[in-house]
Structure 1
Amino acid sequence: MKGNMDAILKTKGAPKSVEFASVPIPQITPDQVLVRIKASGICGTDHSLYHWSEAIASSYDLSFPAIFGHEFSGVIAEVGSQVEGIKVGERVTVNPIIYCGKCSYCAEGNIEVCDNRPFLGTDYDGGFAQYVAVRAVNIIKLPDTVSFKSGALMEPLCVAIHAVDRVKPEFGDSVVVMGPGAIGLLMLLVLKNMGVGKVIVAGTSADKERLEMAKTLGADYILNTQDEGAVKKVKDLTGSKGADVIFDATGHNSAIQMAVQMITKRGRIGVTGLPPRPSELMMTQIAMNEISIIGNRAYERKNWLQACKMIDQGLNIEAIGTHTMPLKDFEKGIDLIDQKKGLRIILQP
């Protein structure tokens, strides 16, 4: 397909430095498809790169100008000559991990820790545009029951599903979700869907509106971690034991330290947040209480099919997309995130 398209360009490795521009529509290779984007979400990574967090930027092989955005859905606009099983007009979302398919981790299905895993929306141009070129094997077809908005929210849903799957809370467990952002609230929805005992969602004073949303979405209790008695409150809510499972979705280095104080003996802490600074932990306490700390990165291939099935069967995640606006209003969306007035801002190119 020839012609130009609208896109949000990150022009250099510095704070802000973006512009709304007209650029050529990408030309696909024989093994790719062209997706006409219908909805694209602004992720925490996009937010960090906009403000230029060196700790986050160093994780990617960035070159400029760049088109960010890795949470999106759309319609197939063109199909490469070697692609089979995908047709123009089909509704899709996209797994943005360009996994190699050759390393031992890929062989086991663990593409999230692939030895060579560039990423759409950072290493390659992504979804803050009208079109994107995508390797065909990364396409996930959307059931007719899944809206484009939900399709754009499916990537963070997969993050939540993967974390829950790795940490494995059991029926009846008491669970704390630290961080009522998009990932934390999607964890809440997944946990309530699977039937754990009680879910406590924790945040700070700045998260007041998000904590209220957590209550609306089914949290059994909400908690301000800045209150002096926050740890005791978790103990009181769990029969003095502490939580069986805690998920850290905050991206703050102090969260894991508090989680160690809130967890029960032999409890499990899942870490999904990516803090820019190290956390200090008393390893003796972790050893003596047999606490497990489990890192969680992105998602496996199976999580995309699980996400499709869960939404198709009635899991409603659309509340996580709190605002919808045109692509050109990208920086207005960033401002909302800065003010913690939005969870996922959905852009419509």
Structure 2
Amino acid sequence: MQGMMDAVIKTKAAPGSMEFASVPIPKITPEQVLIRIMASGICGTDHSLYHWNEAIANSYKLQFPSIFGHEFSGVITEVGSQVTGMAVGERVTVNPILYCGQCSYCAEGIINICDNRPFLGTDYNGGFAQYVAVRAQNIIKLPDSVSFKSGALMEPLCVAIHAVERVKPAFGETAVVIGPGAIGLLMLLVLKNMGVGKVIVTGAGADKERLATAAALGADCTINVDEQEPVARVRELTGGRGADVVLDAAGHHSVVSQAVQMVAKHGKIGVSGLPAKPSELLMTQIAMREISIVGNRAYERKTWFQAAKMIDGGLNVEPIGTHTLPLKDWEKGMELLDRREGLRIILEP
């Protein structure tokens, strides 16, 4: 397919420096499909790269102009000559990790920590555009019941599913989610969906609206840490035992040390946040109380099929997509995130 398309491009390594532009529609290789994007979410990474947060920007090898966006869904409009099992018109979403398939980690199925894993939306152009070219093995077909909006929310849902799966909470246990952003609230939905007994969500004073959303989505208790001491409150809610599982979705350097204080003996702490500063931990407590700290990055291939089945089975993730804007209004989406309004902003190219 030839012609031009609308896109939001980052023009240089500096704060801002993004613009709405007309660029060529990508040409596909024989192994790729072309997707007409119908919905694309603005992730915290996209927001940070827009403002050019050095700590995050330096973890990618960006080339300019660059098209961000790695949470999107759409319709196949062209199929490469070597692609089988896919057809024009099929509704799809995309795993943005371009795993190598050859390293020892890929051989084990843990493509999230592949030795060579370029990423759509950073290393290669992504979803803030009308079209994107994607290799066929990264395509996930959407069940008919899954909307394009839900399809765009599947990537962060996969992050939440993988994090919960890594700490393996049992039926009836108590879990704490620290940080009521999009990922934290998706963790809440996954935990409630799988039969965890009690889910507590904590957040700061600036998160009052998000904590209210957490309550509406099924949190058994919410804690505003500016009004209540969270460790004491979690202990109170668990009869002094502490939570069986604590999930960090906040990314602040204080979170894991706080989690050590509120988790039960033999409990597990899942770390998904990416703090800029080191954390201070009392290793003696971790050893004496047999606490496990589990790092979580992205998702595996199987996670996408789990996510599709969960949404198809009735899990409603659409409340996480709080605002929908046309692609040309992308800057309004960034401004909403600047003001901590909304969770995921969905752009419609």
Q: TM-score normalised to the size of structure 1?
A: 0.99
1:229 to partner: Cα distance: 2.2
2:218 maps to 1:222: no
Percent sequence identity over matched residues? 74
Q: 2:27 is aligned with what amino acid?
A: Q
Q: Match for residue 316 of structure 2?
A: 316
Alignment of 1:21-170 (within 5 A): 21-170=21-170
Matched, 1:187 2:192: no
Rounded to whole Å, the distance in 2 between the matches of 1:172 and 1:68 is 40
Deviation at 1:226, TM superposition (A): 2.7
Greater shift in the superposed pair: 286-295 or 124-133: 286-295
Residues 104-156 of structure 1 show CA distances to partners (whole Å, capped at 9, x for unaligned) of 11011100000000000000000000000000000000000000000000000
Shift of 1:228: 5.2
- What is the CA distance between 1:50 and its match in structure 2? 0.8
254-263 vs 102-111, which moves further: 254-263
Q: CA deviation at 1:267?
A: 0.8
Matching of residues 277-316 of structure 1 within 5 Å? 277-316=277-316
Measure the CA separation in 2 of the matches of 1:13 and 1:178. 32
Show the counterpart of 1:213.
213
Instruction: Name the CA distance, whole Å, in 2 between partners of 1:270 and 1:42.
Output: 24
Distance in 2 of aligned mates of 1:154 and 1:228: 33
Q: Which amino acid aligns with 2:15?
A: P
CA–CA distance in 2 between the matches of 1:331 and 1:254?
Answer: 31
Distance 2:247 2:120 in 1: 26
Judging changes above 3 Å, is the alpha-carbon distance between structure 1 residues 220 and 228 closer, same or farther for their aligned structure 2 residues? closer
SS across alignment from 1:140: strand
SS across alignment from 1:30: coil
- Residue 232 of structure 1 corresponds to 232
Could you list the per-position Cα deviations for residues 81-119 of structure 1 after superposition, in whole angstroms to 9, with x for gaps in the alignment? 100000000000000000000001101110000000000
Structure 2 CA distance, aligned partners of 1:282 and 1:253? Answer: 14
Deviation at 1:36, TM superposition (A): 0.2
Aligned match of 2:6: 6
The range that moved more, 209-218 or 272-281, is 272-281
Runs of 5+ in structure 2 lacking a partner?
none
CA distance in 1, matches of 2:12, 2:286: 43
Task: Give the letter aligned to residue 276 of structure 2.
Answer: P
2:228 and 2:137 mapped to 1: Cα distance? 50
CA RMSD of aligned residues (A): 0.8
Q: CA deviation at 1:288?
A: 1.4
Moved more, 259-268 or 71-80: 259-268
Tell me the equivalent position of 1:333.
333
Task: Give the residue type in structure 2 aligned to 1:174.
Answer: T
Q: Distance in 2 between matches of 1:283 and 1:335?
A: 41
More deviation in 48-57 or 134-143?
48-57
Other structure's SS at 1:323 match: strand
TM-score, structure 2 normalization? 0.99
1:103 maps to amino acid: C
SS in structure 2 of the partner of residue 146 of structure 1:
coil
Amino acid at match of 1:170: A
Distance in 2 (CA, whole Å) between partners of 1:227 and 1:258 is: 16
Distance 2:70 2:178 in 1: 24
- SS of 1:97's equivalent in the other structure is coil
Distance 1:133 1:29 in 2: 8
**Displacement of 1:227:** 3.4
Counterpart code for 2:62:
L
- Amino acid of the structure 1 residue aligned with 2:158: C
Aligned partner of 1:34: which letter?
A: L
Deviation at 1:215, TM superposition (A): 0.2
The alignment partner of 1:47 has SS state of helix
Secondary structure at 1:151 match in 2: helix
Unaligned runs of 5+ in 1: none
Say which SS state the counterpart of residue 153 (structure 2) adopts.
helix
Alpha-carbon deviations, 1:32-79, whole Å to 9, x = none?
Answer: 000000000000110111111111112211111100000000000101
**How many residues matched?**
349
Give distance in 2, aligned partners of 1:326 and 1:279: 40
